[in-house]
Amino acid sequence: MSAGLEIHDAASTGDLDSLEEYLRSGKFDVNLRDEEWSNRTALHWACAKGYVECIRLLLDCGAVGTARSDTGWTPAHFAAETGKLTALRALYSANVPLGLTDKYGDTPKRVAEIYGFTECVKFFDQCEAEIAAGIQQGFPPKFSSVFRKRRISGRSFASSPSPTGESQSSTPERQTTMRNLFSTMRKSITSPLSRPGSALEEQREKGINNDAPFVPEAERET
């Protein structure tokens, strides 16, 4: 086995413990391409085999969700080819685009159609409808590094010791940081009704009582 491809072997067999050990060591490139296998990455293999926990770990560690093989296939193409619906769900939850085309113009949805995986096709249709409606899925990318640190360190936020030896959760600075983080997260994951251009936003701009429940325009008093 070529140097560095141990993570490909672990991802393709679903060996989560070994994969996590390799990645924690810092000696492996999570986006290393296997030239003997059409320049696939470890994420391509995990998606093709449907190992969801490996997929999540690789993404948490910085794997490119839209990495391309020689034919332009993304991890979603490989998951669609083998009908791995759970792999597609994991990618979608991580905000990885599922509609990119390969060098021949085929999307993962088209690949699923060719191989007869109807449940996957239905899932792609659902994703397209949610994206068209502006529904956000998963955590915004800017928070991924937070969860990546938590996964790789093998420690939770609450139990991680500070340089002084006390639990980080017990320090005022840590508590303030966590409150600010989750406050920002709540603001970033909003209902479609509260986004700019929505009817609710229109009410707010016109000075209508912001504390009152949303009232459809047809039912508003003139």
Domain boundaries, the chain: 6-132, 190-222
> For position 203, what pLDDT does the model report?
40
pLDDT of residue 31: 97
- Which residue in the block uniquely carries the two structure tokens 């989560």? 16
pLDDT tens for the 222 residues of the chain, in order = 567 899 999 999 999 999 999 999 999 999 999 999 999 999 999 999 999 999 999 999 999 999 999 999 999 999 999 999 999 999 999 999 999 999 999 999 999 999 999 999 999 999 999 988 887 554 444 334 444 444 444 433 333 344 444 444 445 665 566 556 555 544 443 333 333 443 434 443 444 343 444 444 455 454
pLDDT score for 56: 97
* Burial (CB count within 10 angstroms: exposed 0-12, middle 13-18, buried 19+), residue 35: exposed
Question: Three-state SS across the chain?
Answer: CCCCCHHHHHHHHCCHHHHHHHHHHCCCCCCCCEHHHCCECHHHHHHHHCCHHHHHHHHHCCCCCCCCCCCCCCHHHHHHHCCCHHHHHHHHHCCCCCCCCCCCCCCHHHHHHHHCCHHHHHHHHHHHHHHHCCCCCCCCHHHHHHHHHHHHHCCCCCCCECCCCCEHHHCHHHHHHHHHHHHHHHHHCCCHHHCCCCHHHHHHHCCCCCCCCCCCHHHCCC
Give the pLDDT of residue 174. Answer: 58
The tokens for 7 are 């993570």
Kindly tell me the burial class for residue 87, based on how many C-beta atoms sit within 10 Å of its own C-beta (0-12, 13-18, 19 or more). Answer: buried
Give the architecture (CATH level 2) of 6-132: Alpha Horseshoe (1.25)
- Say which residues have a Cβ less than 8 Å from residue 42's Cβ, sequence separation at least 6: 7, 8, 10, 11, 12, 19, 30, 32, 54, 58, 63
At residue 131, the pLDDT reads 87
pLDDT for the residue 58: 97
